[in-house]
Chains A and B, each alone.
Chain A
Amino acid sequence: MLNNQPKHKTIDVGDGAAIPHKSDTGLFTAWRIAFFGSIALCFFLAFGRPDQYMAIFMFVPDGILITFKVTVGAILLAIAFGLIAGLGRISGNRFINGAASLYVEVIRGIPLLVQLFYIYYALGRFVKIPDILSAIIAMAFCYGAYMAEIFRAGIQSIPKGQMEAALSLGMSRSQAMRQVILPQAFKVVLPPIGNEFIALLKDSSLVSILAVADLLRRGREYASETFNYFETYTVIALIYLIMTLFFSKLISIMEERLNDGH
């Protein structure tokens, strides 16, 4: 173990909303204040100022559903892309390794917004795919590259001895990967995947530029006809905040359960 200690200290910072853990009391309290505070604020606005806010709350719910659909669809597809590309990144085959590395490098070097435009309208040139599915594919293609690096790191974090032991038991390489390495790696990669999920939930708002009727687009449609920009974006921000806080809590509970079972 001592030999494996890294020379430099590393820090662990997620790009989503911080996932609250009971051991971090400060963050845990902050989570509670933010979560229940924003729910209370929503109720206050909807029922305390109904003439300004009630109509907004009535207008956007189908957008929440689309945001959720895009996020869940994209994360599942991104996990699939990521797993394939991640395995490719550690493959001994030069061609597969090269292709997977190229995918990761190219995608990570282009802004998400640009990629969404590009993939959405490029897809439209060649195949006829409905709008929401196109948006999900575009989103997943981008996130798959980040996911690939998570899988690569996760797989490489499993001690080499595991693979050697599995091989000496007479397993084939792919058998060992599927039955020994990946189940262990999945546990390691779950927390960062949770982080990616939260980040993706927020980034899903970018699909509104593709005219997908998500939460943000519904808000923009409402604001553009009523001119109540301040009120509308207050509500949109609150709903996004409640969603990310809710899911970050859910992920933290999931992580705790996993650690208990260890």
Chain B
Amino acid sequence: MKIFRFLSVAALLVASLSVSAIAAPKSIKVATDATWPPMEMVDANKKIIGYDIDFLNAVAKEAGIKVEFKNTAWDGIFAGLDSGQYDAIISSVTITEERKAKYDFTDAYTSIGQILVVPKTDKTSKTIADLKGKKVGSQIGTTGAMEVKKVAGVESKTYDEIGLAFEDMAAGRISGVVCDEPVAAHFALKKKEYNAKFKIVGKSFTKEGYGIVVKKGNKELVDLLNKGIKSVKAKKLDTKIHAQWVK
């Protein structure tokens, strides 16, 4: 009898544990590299703000979860997901085949492209290929950096933060910067000291979709976020957020 009681208690315990594991997480930790304006950045009050932040907050509201943001350096942001320091990443992460092999993504929530920014003194360059023999900057590990490396004869220089690349271009050490279109627009058009020096050339030359990243196999969270994304899109909340942050 005693052993029977023990077994039933144990079974109950296991059942309750697995139930709590299956139950939707009420609160998730999400990493973002807040050096990528206007998508994610830190304001004067050290608060993380931007398109991605507002978007994910809207998604979370629709999905019925709470989100806590964690500012994390881009270089290593995926490693932190591996080691379980947070549950997801929303940081203008383009969905690529290489990344999909290692991590799971939600559906794309917005589409952007890479674009080239050069000094105003450069009157001829239209594409990265026009900058052969010169240095072109980008942020380390971004799709922009991958695009620069694809062009033979161009020296790729990778920075920890995209702002440092623009500063280096202002100092004349590099001849171009490649990054996501909205970020380029922010640095080249909105920032006063750069507005006089830089210009965006041509149109974006890639088609990319941003996705929220979770650990491989975390289907439950992906489904939950996808549900939220769908609902946000259906209510057209994303166009409102887009209008507020981009252009």
Q: Do A and B come from one complex?
A: yes
Q: Which residues of A contact B (CB under 8 A)?
A: 121, 123-125, 128-131, 134, 209, 211, 213, 217, 220-221, 223-227, 229
- Identify whether the interface residues of B are mostly helix, strand, loop, or mixed: mixed
- Report the minimum CB–CB distance from B80 to chain A (whole Å): 10
B141 touching A131, Cβ below 8 Å: no
Q: Does B79 contact A (CB under 8 A)?
A: yes
Select the residue from A125, A130, A223 with max chain B CB neighbours within 10 A: A223
B residues contacting A by CB (< 8 A) are: 74-76, 78-79, 82, 98, 102, 135, 137, 140-141, 145-146, 157-160, 164-165, 167-168, 170-174
Contacts of A121 in B (CB 8 A): 167, 171
Task: Output the nearest chain B residue to A217 by Cβ-Cβ distance.
Answer: B158
Let me know if A130 and B173 touch, CB within 8 A.
Answer: yes
Instruction: Give bound CA distance, A130 to B137, whole Å.
Output: 14
Answer whether A125 and B76 are a contact pair too, CB < 8 Å, given A211-B159, A220-B140.
no
* 18 cross-chain CB contacts under 8 A: A124-B171, A124-B172, A128-B171, A128-B172, A129-B173, A130-B173, A131-B157, A209-B160, A211-B157, A217-B140, A220-B141, A221-B141, A224-B76, A224-B140, A225-B141, A225-B145, A225-B146, A227-B102
- Considering the chains assembled together, what is the distance between the CA atoms of A222 and B76 in angstroms? 12
Distance to closest chain A CB from B183 (angstroms): 17
Of all A-B residue pairs in the complex, the 4 with the closest CB atoms, nearest first, are: A224-B141, A124-B171, A211-B159, A128-B172
Q: How far is the CA of A209 from the CA of B161 in the complex (A)?
A: 9
Q: Which residues of A contact B79 (CB under 8 A)?
A: 223, 227, 229
Interface centre among B82, B137, B164, B171 (most CB of A within 10 A): B171
Q: Which residues of A contact B145 (CB under 8 A)?
A: 221, 225
User: Shortest beta-carbon distance, B141 to chain A, in Å?
Assistant: 3
The contact of A211 among B74, B98, B141, B160, by CB within 8 Å, is B160
Q: Which residues of chain B have C-beta atoms less than 8 A from A211's C-beta?
A: 137, 157-160, 164-165, 168
Q: Is the CB of A213 within 8 A of B157?
A: yes
Extra pairs beyond A211-B158, A221-B158 (8, CB < 8 Å): A129-B173, A211-B137, A211-B157, A211-B159, A213-B157, A213-B158, A217-B140, A229-B82
Q: How far is the CB of A136 from chain B (nearest CB, A)?
A: 14
**Interchain CA distance A211-B138 in the complex, whole Å:** 10
> How many interface contacts (CB-CB < 8 Å) are there between A and B?
60
Give the docked Cα–Cα distance between A128 and B146 (Å): 27
A229 adjacent to B157 (CB under 8 Å)? no
> Which residues of the other chain, A, contact B165 by a CB distance below 8 angstroms?
211
Q: How far is the CB of A103 from chain B (nearest CB, A)?
A: 24
Chain A residues with CB under 8 A of B102: 227
Q: Are A131 and B173 in contact (CB under 8 A)?
A: yes
CB-based contact A227/B157 at 8 Å: no
Q: How many angstroms from the CA of A198 to the CA of B171 in the assembled complex?
A: 31
Residue of chain A at shortest CB distance from B173 = A131
A225 partner residues in chain B, CB cutoff 8 A: 98, 141, 145-146
Identity of the chain B residue whose Cβ is nearest the Cβ of A128 in the assembled complex: B172
B73 to nearest A CB, angstroms? 11
Q: Are A220 and B171 in contact (CB under 8 A)?
A: no
- The closest CB in chain B to the CB of A133 belongs to B173
Which residues on A sit within 8 Å (CB–CB) of B74?
224
Query: Does B158 lie within 8 Å of A227, measured CB to CB?
Result: no
What are the residues of chain B within 8 A of A134 when measuring CB–CB?
173
- How far apart sit A131 and B155, CA to CA, in the bound complex (Å)? 13
Whether the Cβ atoms of A224 and B98 lie closer than 8 Å is no
Docked CA distance A213–B140 (Å): 11
Q: Which of A125, A128, A129, A220 contacts B75, CB < 8 Å?
A: A220
Please determine whether B167 and A124 come into contact, CB atoms closer than 8 angstroms. Answer: yes
CA distance A209 to B165 in the complex (A): 11
What CA separation (Å) do A227 and B157 show in the bound complex?
19
Select which of A131, A223, A227 is within 8 A of B168 by beta carbon.
Answer: A131
A48 to B86 CA separation, bound complex (whole angstroms)? 34
Chain A residues with CB under 8 A of B137: 211
B170 touches A229 (CB 8 A): no
A43 to B105, CA, bound (A): 37
CA distance A131 to B82 in the complex (A): 34
- A223, B102: Cα distance in complex, Å: 13
In the assembled complex, which residues on chain B have CB atoms less than 8 Å from the CB atom of A124? 167-168, 170-173
